[in-house]
Structure 1
Amino acid sequence: MKRVLIFDSGVGGLSVYQEIYAQLPNVQYIYAFDDAAFPYGELPEEELIERTRHIVTLLVERHVIDLVVIACNTASTIVLPTLRDCLAIPVVGVVPAIKPAAMLSMRKVIGLLATPATVQREYTDLLISQFASHCEVLRIGSTRLVEMAEQKLRGQPISISELEEILSLWQGKVDCVVLGCTHFPLIKDEIIEAIKGDVIIVDSGRAIANRVKDLLGVITITSTEPNLTYNSAAGNNTAALNKSLAEMKLAPVRTLQFPRP
């Protein structure tokens, strides 16, 4: 039986989980998120690295994990080398889908929608210079959109007018938007409604799922274990969140019991 750990600061990584599950439904999944330090986009790098390393290594040992997915763009840009040094299993990260967006954009004006930390990372600059140097890349770093995605999964309404205000600088300019945070596919429909016009939306979910499938290979034994969910803190609106998790074939949230780093 194969086990995959998917980790994020919040519920955004569920968008990646859904893509992976669609291709590999016979794997046991452990989804873990770190509400105690949410949002990661505002954490100092050293704290982000230490928290991620601590939680991931603990769960890898507890559940004998075969592969780890860091389903957080902010964490992936800085924490992957540390995790790959301390784990003997594959660790897959997510990066903004700049390359496919540059290929799809007709106007060659791309919008990168991510957390404040991701839009400022040197790694993001490198992606743009490598794959979109012939494009104009307009960046919006928003923690508020992360909060909106969290609200939606907990059964709370999303303000389209607030989204319109956040995205107003892009109106009539971009023809392709990169969702550079795994939270944002959870509000993809609302983003499309707010930005208006004929705009292509791109994220990394399917590419990550393809990578996981390649690394795990052929699954010969189907998991009979439930898919688990862990949170580092007792969250709000847990009943509504658990309802969403059940629809995704994930067990109700358990609070992580471990010594804090």
Structure 2
Amino acid sequence: MDVVKNKRPIGVFDSGLGGISVLKECVKLMPNEDFIFFGDSQNAPYGIKTVGQVYQLSKNIVEYFVNQDVKAIVIACNTATSAAAKELRQEYPDLPIVGLEPALKPAVLHKEHSNILVMATKLTLREDKFNHLMQQYEDQANIMKLPATDLVEFVERGEIDTPELKQYLRRILKPYLGKIDSVVLGCTHFPFAAKAIQEIVGENVYVIDGAPGAARELKRLLVKGHLEQDPTSKGTVIFHNSNPDPKEIELSKRLFNL
């Protein structure tokens, strides 16, 4: 084992702070690893930008991580994964890059021939990557799309349980109440509002996100590449943000410790 090589950190990034939901799952599964989280709050939300813009923003962050000598990267953003993951893997073939996708498969397996609502940004829902995923399961479930880009803004402001958030969620979820079996949270910001979503759709509705799956994939790639850090070590987490306002780092730490 190359101790020095394996002690390098893992880079995790998102269009803002939502990816901290993925970071938490990674730290839970791999508490011995060192992580650098980069939130691009200055350019959030990615979900309303063009594919080209999201790709360039993502590439800039990956180059920043490469300069930090990371050993792996997690694109903790469904939108950035859709727009940039394939190209970035081709450009950095020696760097393990984990992406996110809506947890549609677990929702399909949860209940046969069920009604599934996928909440995500507009860009994620219209990209080929999601639509190809959706086509794989469309004969096994009734899958509905719900663009909820404004929910990103609530989380970016740290509003995860406010009356205004619940009012917004009630408005967009109203047409589906009593008609769905599962809700797939297809944006890494959305798990921070999962409690409020569950409250509105009811306890009998299965609410799921892709963060645990991404954490497992990261661990698999580390094991495969013999990149794991000493299991007895205690990992660290460092937060960076494109927005220079110190409040962004404070909010990042608060969301991480929820």
Same fold (TM over 0.5): yes
- State the shift of 1:223 in Å: 5.5
The sequence identity of aligned pairs, in percent, is: 32
The runs of 5 or more residues in structure 2 that have no matched partner are: 1-6
Counterpart Cα distance in 2 of 1:177 and 1:202: 6
Counterpart Cα distance in 1 of 2:113 and 2:120: 21
Which of 74, 83, 88 is 1:83 aligned to? 88
- State the shift of 1:34 in Å: 1.0
RMSD (CA atoms): 2.3
Give, as a single letter, the amino acid of the residue that structure 2 aligns with 1:31: F
Q: Does 1 or 2 have the higher relative contact order (CA < 8 Å, sep 6+)?
A: 2
Q: How does 1:12-91 map to 2 (within 5 A)?
A: 12-61=18-67, 63-87=68-92, 88-91=94-97
Are 2:31 and 2:235, in contact at CA under 8 Å, matched by a contact in 1? no
Corresponding residue SS for 2:230: coil
Counterpart Cα distance in 2 of 1:159 and 1:246: 20
CA gap of 1:65–1:111, structure 2 versus 1, over 3 A, is: same
Which of 168, 175, 180 is 2:174 aligned to? 168
CA gap of 1:24–1:158, structure 2 versus 1, over 3 A, is: farther
Normalised TM-score (structure 2): 0.87
The runs of 5 or more residues in structure 1 that have no matched partner are: 249-261
CA gap of 1:222–1:54, structure 2 versus 1, over 3 A, is: farther
Corresponding residue SS for 2:171: helix
Give, as a single letter, the amino acid of the residue that structure 2 aligns with 1:147: E
* Residues 15-51 of structure 1: CA deviation (Å, up to 9, x unaligned): 1011110010111100001112110001111111111
User: How many pairs align?
Assistant: 247
Are 1:2 and 1:223, in contact at CA under 8 Å, matched by a contact in 2? no
Corresponding residue SS for 1:81: helix
Match of 1:253 in 2: none
* Residues 154-195 of structure 1: CA deviation (Å, up to 9, x unaligned): 996653222111111111111111100011111110111122
Are 2:240 and 2:249, in contact at CA under 8 Å, matched by a contact in 1? no
Which of 204, 210, 214 is 1:208 aligned to? 214
- State the shift of 1:80 in Å: 1.0
Normalised TM-score (structure 1): 0.86
Are 2:20 and 2:256, in contact at CA under 8 Å, matched by a contact in 1? no
- State the shift of 1:128 in Å: 1.1
- State the shift of 1:131 in Å: 2.6
Moved more, 24-33 or 77-86: 77-86
Match of 1:254 in 2: none
Are 2:113 and 2:140, in contact at CA under 8 Å, matched by a contact in 1? no
Are 2:52 and 2:83, in contact at CA under 8 Å, matched by a contact in 1? no
1:187 aligns with 2:193: yes
- State the shift of 1:148 in Å: 1.8
Counterpart Cα distance in 2 of 1:242 and 1:154: 13
CA gap of 1:243–1:229, structure 2 versus 1, over 3 A, is: closer
* Residues 140-161 of structure 1: CA deviation (Å, up to 9, x unaligned): 1111111122233699665322
